[in-house]
Amino acid sequence: MTKLIKITIHGNTTTAQLNESDTARTFFDKLPMAISMNRWGDEYYGDCGLNVQLEQGAREEMEVGELAIWPQGNALCIFFGPTPASRHDEPRAISPVNPIGRIEGDRAFLKGLPGHVEVKVESLS
């Protein structure tokens, strides 16, 4: 079953669809949550309290709009462009992350946000 979430960041709201991974299910089961996030290039990351192991399919190279959990930092990551670890224009995590889904709604507003944001994540399904 498709799991949809609403993400509210700095007064902007977007939607995302989670994948069927164990990490995505664990994340969804902990909603709603509020996360204090910092910017690293064109990525926001913040401790969401999720303690998971790397899954098969964990990777560093991401796509614009992907969401992931970074096990080393117990952090939700929102990728929307290149990061300091990128080799080209792709988003790249500092170390392997577990992809959990993708933003389906507007994400263009992320580029104009400050270095620190408060994020609210809620279930829509």
Instruction: Write the CATH number for 57.
Output: 2.40.100.20
pTM to 2 decimal places? 0.96
Query: Is the Cβ–Cβ distance between 7 and 18 less than 8 Å?
Result: no
Distance between CA atoms of residues 23 and 107, nearest Å = 22
Q: How far apart are CA 49 and CA 36, in angstroms?
A: 11
Structure confidence at residue 9 (pLDDT): 96
At 41-94, the pLDDT tens digits run 999 999 999 999 999 999 999 999 999 999 999 999 999 999 999 999 999 999
Structural domain range at position 115? 3-123
> Both ends of the chain: CA-CA distance in Å?
9
Give CA–CA dist 85/73, Å, rounded. 16
Number of domains observed in the structure of the chain: 1
